[in-house]
Amino acid sequence: MMPVFADLNHEEFWILILNTANRVIGKQIISKGGLAGTVADPKIIFKTALEHNAAFIILAHNHPSGNLKPSTQDLQLTKKLVEGGKMLDLQVLDHLILTDKGYYSFGDQGLI
């Protein structure tokens, strides 16, 4: 995903669509926003995942500011999507925040 987010001056939110073997079978942009945020609607995220027959999804968005720390909104959205995914039997494997400096993984931090 780093090439997708490289040098963007606005936020974008994407999902990676995985099959039952945990292989990426697609990626889909969910939203484009401004310098400080973008809207990631759970209904659109799950609709897209289901239309592509996803077994699992990984969430990814960038922070053009270069700050890897998740915002309160990032934390709330992740929690909401993990819970919604459980109801649909569609596991959210991770949520990545990417910048030019690196990435932050909610999974690596024990937040998923």
Burial class (CB in 10 A: 0-12, 13-18, 19+), 74: buried
Distance of CA 111 to the CA centre of its chain: 14
Helix (H, G, I), strand (E, B) or coil at 74: helix
Amino acid at 95: H
CA distance linking residue 60 with residue 28, whole number of Å? 10
pTM of the model: 0.89
Q: What is the pLDDT along the chain (112 residues), one digit of tens a residue?
A: 766 777 788 999 999 999 999 999 999 999 998 877 888 999 999 999 999 999 999 999 999 988 999 999 999 999 999 999 999 999 999 999 999 889 999 999 999 9
List domains and CATH numbers for the chain.
Answer: 2-105 (3.40.140.10)
Residue type, 30: I
